[in-house]
Amino acid sequence: MKKLSILLMILILSRYPLSAQELKINEKEYFETRGVNLLVFSNQYTGYFFDEKTAGIELIHHDVRTATGGGVRLQPTPEQWDQIPMVVERKVDRENNSIEVLLRYNEFDFNSRVKVEAYEDGAIIQVILDEPLPEKLEGHAGFNMEFLPSAYFEKTYLIDGKPGIFPLYPTGPVETRPVEEKIPQFAGHSTFDDKGRGEFINPLPIVEGKVLTLAPEDPERLVTIKSLTGNLMLYDGRNLAQNGWYVVRSLLPAGKKGVVLQWFLKANSIKDWIRKPVITYSQTGYHPGQNKISVIELDKNDEPLETAALFKIDEDGNTIKVLERKVERWGEFLRYKYVTFDFSDIKESGLYSIKYGDIQTKPFPVSEDVYKSAWHATLDVWFPVQMDHMFVNEAYRVWHGLPSRDDARQAPVNHIHFDGYSMGPSTDTKYKSGEHIPGLDVGGWFDAGDFDIQTGHHCTTVMSFVDSWEHFKIDRDQTYIDQKIRYTDIHHPDGKPDLLQQIEHGTLQLVAQHKSVGHAFRGIVVPNLHQYHHLGDPSAMTDNMIYNPEMDVNENDGKYSGVNDDRWAFTGKDPSLNYSSMAALAAAYRALKGFNDSLASEALSIAENAWIKEHNESGWEIKDTGRFALYRIRGEVDAALQLLISTEKENYKERFENLIWNALGLSRILFIERAVKAIPYFDSRFKERLVPYVEKYKTECDEFLKENPYGVLIGRRPWAGNHELISWAITNYHVHKAFPDIMNPEYTFRGLSYIYGLHPSSNISFVSGVGVYSKKVAYGGNRADYTFIAGGVVPGLLMLKPDFPENKEDWPFLWGENEYVIDICAEYIFLVNAVDDLLNGK
């Protein structure tokens, strides 16, 4: 749109004065002015988790992403599994200061174009149709923008001049509609159960009008939207789902084509706004013997100060300056620039605080004991809370009742489920679709914030726990765990090492899978989305009675019932997963010997028999370098190594050596730790042959010092990168232990410091309840309460394209940033003990 019509110009100028702070498309292909970034599908829907609230037209407003999901949608307040548009084409026109995307819904053969063009201090948003709206979508398709509720809590709005207050808790209007009127979700994602519900909840707008002003009292959050076509409608998406956002929406008109919708959007820009510096440091503090470098993050328009200072806080509360020195300029990373402040000379124990300009940090300790207890909450609290098939109590609180006693039914064949679960044409078991598989109601952990069992994560968790046991002999006992009565009591010692009891709990589920169906399988998850959405006590997710299709829905005999709510076991056989399970079982054997001898022997026997069976059925070799091929290779490498360590049998040794050298050529970062762990089981030539691989790996790690000011591996996937980072830091520990002349311990220290607050965007500790300032709002099973589970480790910083690191501290529902997962938490326990070992010895 090179010229606006005279009418459109009058409509806009009548309300908005000209401003010098115009939006311009920058070199990173998004609109920018001081304090305002408008992204137009820089981030697109991946399809894997569907609507992750990280795609479409998005607003980063004074360095907070406050709006997302701008685009043509088919629901007033889309849920995660609702239809999402596919981006067919994205055109950036720098000359005319516009960005246009072509969106498509394949199921409805429906295309739309969304064009955003800067105009003065705002932007015109248009929806353009080359053909009229399909009849089925009339009254459904509209243009939405979603605004982050926590950014507008305790704020107001104006609609055509009439005032309102954003609801702190969802209280907006809804109605019920016949289910046949609902635009369907993706295949396999029905939200309806077998109880015959024939209606769905449809949210209604809180208010309607032509001009909507959000937060007129707050210059940092002030946004005005003017509809130049139909009405604007404001919805509260939390009426449908706790993770819903406030939605501003206009319906697309029926029977029209061309420009069918026009908005003018203006996000207030504070003149000469500069983001306050962020002083990043470890929230748990530092050991006297380690390097202590604070990284200070600055707005790109900020001019660095010359110095920073360190203060010590004494017993009387006095704050005494003990160090002041020049900061070092590091350069730019992402959208910020950085300086560093080195206070490594400080060796004296005590409480300290960093000051840069007029900003002073919270206090942090310097002490030899800073890491001694930093992992306790993860083992004492977080893992007990995650225990499936157990009643979990803590003092006066019940975390959850005894869940999933009805596990599990055979998942149906040829079925695409949610959360990555699927079944092919065969069950790979003796059970028919829907048939109950006995023996699966034992052991295991809820994988994350969802109440499912993911076998792959179980395998890595068990192996990580065994590593912690074998390296550090963690014998801490603060939890009562009784497998016979299925009862766990937090802060209640029972005379047994908690770590061994957790290894036992994970091993019970892995053994049960092999005994029930003959191999490891993908996992166990609820069959319906209305169960998957469940928040609160997981024991209420099913009736805990085995489904009997011969019974009426209201009939039960105490063991069987007619309620079809039992979880499904996705039993498709995967060699990679089967090998990982063998590795975990072989490792568990060593830890459980002398603790639970019968389970230990059973685990090793299953692992060895599974190895023989797998090799008889699929003797595959390395053929390509794809991601899934690496998973298969990694699985067999792990199985061969763990079976070798447990049995010292020659066949495992030979197979490991045949695999490892080719594997190192494919990925040093993935396989170097496994190679180093094998050194004691080979002669000296094996270690000598590893030297050039270790040297190259060290060189690769040094590149991180050039890439970012933290000198660590920072992931850029759609899921934040703390798991990769922790694994990298653990690898560096093992490499340092084996090759101290090549790899120094700083590569491990930097990884843990990053987790504790030395990272971009903020200085929060990513471990809930650990450090002075830590994650208090996270994505656990209690996320709807805006709270946390102590010891949980979140994924961390989600790197939104092209340059925005985000970890929401006031909004728990972004799982890619804030969802605890078992394998991250298990590896965190190892990493803290590894750092303490390097600094203090064990």
Q: DSSP states of 799-832 as a string?
A: EETTTEEE--SS-TT-HHHHB--HHHHHHHHHHH
pLDDT at residue 655 is higher than 70: yes
Distance, in Å, from the CA atom of 408 to the CA atom of 209, rounded to the nearest integer, reads: 51
d(CA 71, CA 26) in angstroms, rounded, equals 21
Q: Which residues share a beta bridge with 354?
A: 310
Residue with tokens 């900020």: 302
Q: For residue 541, what are the contacts with CB-CB under 8 A and spacing of at least 6?
A: 403, 404, 451, 526, 531, 534, 565
- CB neighbourhood size of 357 (10 A): 14
Q: Count CB neighbours of 325 within 10 A.
A: 14
742-777 per-position pLDDT tens digit: 999 999 999 999 999 999 999 999 999 999 999 999
Same domain, residue pair 301 and 381: no
Q: Say yes or no: 362 and 454 in one domain.
A: no
Amino acid code (one letter) for 522:
R
- CA distance linking residue 455 with residue 659, whole number of Å: 24
Confidence bin at 185 (pLDDT 50/70/90): confident
Specify whether the CB–CB gap between 546 and 406 falls below 8 A: yes
* Cα gap 40→25, rounded to integer Å: 10
Place of tokens 């987790």: 755
Confidence of residue 47 (pLDDT cuts 50, 70, 90): confident
**Cis-peptide, bond into residue 408, ω within 30° of zero:** yes
Per-residue pLDDT band for 530 (boundaries 50, 70, 90) equals confident
The mean pLDDT of 13-20, rounded to a whole number, is 39
Residues 321 and 387 in one domain: no
pLDDT at 19 over 80: no
383, 355: one domain: no
Q: Are residues 462 and 542 in the same domain?
A: yes
Q: How confident is the model at residue 736 (pLDDT cuts 50, 70, 90)?
A: very high
Rounded to 10°, the helix 575-592/498-517 angle is: 140
Residue 759 falls inside a structural domain:
no
Predicted pLDDT at 718: 81
Task: Name 318's Cβ contacts closer than 8 Å, sequence gap at least 6.
Answer: none
- pLDDT of the residue at 712: 98
Paired tokens of 116: 């955003």
pLDDT at 627 over 70: no
**pLDDT(109) > 70:** yes
Q: Express as a percent the part of the chain with pLDDT over 70.
A: 94
Which pair of structure tokens corresponds to residue 823?
């394998």
- Position 756 scores a pLDDT of 98
Residue 10 has a pLDDT of 39
Residue 40 lies in a domain: yes
The closest alpha carbon to 245, from 203, 282, 213, 188, belongs to 203
Instruction: Identify the H or E element spanning 325.
Output: strand 319-326
Domains: count for the chain: 3
Residues 143-163, mean pLDDT to the nearest whole number: 98
Peptide bond before residue 802 is cis, with ω within 30 degrees of 0: yes
260 & 320 share domain: no
pLDDT at 4: 41
One domain, residues 217 and 305? no
pLDDT at 840: 95
- In angstroms, the CA 168 to CA 183 distance is 29
3-state secondary structure of 612: helix
Q: Give the chain's end-to-end CA distance (angstroms, integer).
A: 69
Q: CA nearest 386: which of 284, 283, 509? A: 509
pLDDT of residue 200: 84
Query: Does residue 277 lie within any of the structural domains?
Result: no
Tokens of 574: 């995967």
Are residues 136 and 98 part of one domain?
yes
Residues 320 and 313: their CA atoms lie apart, in Å, by 6
Task: Note whether 818 and 719 are within 8 A (CB).
Answer: no
Average per-residue pLDDT in the chain? Answer: 94
Cα angle, residue 578 at apex, residues 577 and 579 outer, rounded to 5° = 90
pLDDT at 460: 98
Q: Which residue has the higher pLDDT, 47 or 785?
A: 785
292 pLDDT more than 80: yes
| Domain stops at, among 366, 388, 416 | 366
Q: 362 with 378, same domain?
A: no
Indicate whether 316 and 418 sit together in one domain: no
Q: Are 648 and 681 in contact (CB under 8 A)?
A: yes
Residue found by looking up tokens 């801490």 in the block: 476
pLDDT of the residue at 823: 97
And the tokens for 582? 């063998």
Domain span including residue 145 = 6-267
* CATH for 209: 2.70.98
Beta bridge partners of 601: none
Per-residue model confidence (pLDDT) at position 842: 59
- Specify the 3-state DSSP secondary structure of 538: helix
CATH value at residue 344: 2.60.40.10
Answer yes or no: is pLDDT of 664 > 60. yes
In a domain, 567, yes or no: yes
Q: How confident is the model at residue 716 (pLDDT cuts 50, 70, 90)?
A: confident
Pairwise CA distance, residues 782 & 289, whole Å: 39
What is the per-residue pLDDT for 616? 79
Tell me the mean pLDDT in the region 177-193: 65
Q: What is the pLDDT of residues 454-487, one digit of tens each?
A: 999 999 999 999 999 999 999 999 999 999 999 9
- What distance lies between CA 724 and its chain's CA centroid? 12
Q: Is residue 580 in a domain? A: no
The span from the CA of 645 to the CA of 640, in Å, is 9
User: Which residues face 41 on adjacent strands?
Assistant: none
State yes or no: pLDDT of 197 exceeds 70.
no
Gap between the Cα atoms of 713 and 717, Å rounded: 12
Among the three residues 530, 556, 572, which one is the final residue of a domain in this structure?
Answer: 572
Identify the band that residue 55 occupies on the pLDDT scale cut at 50, 70 and 90: very high
Structure confidence at residue 625 (pLDDT): 52
Residues 328 and 424 both lie in one domain: no
Of 526, 557, 572, the one marking the end of a domain is 572
Q: Please tell me the predicted confidence (pLDDT) of residue 839.
A: 97
Structure tokens at 151: 């950014």
Cα-based distances in Å from 508 to 345, 457, 638, 653: 49, 15, 20, 27
pLDDT band at 193; cut points 50, 70, 90 = very low
Helices within 368-454 (DSSP H only): 376-377, 383-385
SS3 content of the chain, % helix, strand, coil (to 5): 30, 25, 45
- So what's the pLDDT on residue 630? 83
Q: How many CB atoms lie within 10 A of CB 713?
A: 25
Model confidence over 122-149: pLDDT tens digits? Answer: 999 999 999 999 999 999 999 999 999 9
Identity (one letter) of the amino acid at 699? T
Residue 692 lies in a domain: no
Is 93 contained in some domain?
yes
Percent of the chain past pLDDT 90, that is, above it, reads 89
Is 89 inside any structural domain?
yes
On whether both 263 and 346 belong to a single domain, the answer is no
Q: Which two three-digit tokens encode residue 702?
A: 């040094």
List residues bridging with 233 in a β-sheet: 208, 249
* pLDDT band at residue 190 under the 50/70/90 scheme: very low
Query: Quick one: pLDDT at residue 1?
Result: 40
* pLDDT value at residue 194: 40
650-666 vs 684-707: helix axis angle to the nearest 10?
30
Q: Which two tokens stand for residue 426?
A: 């065969």
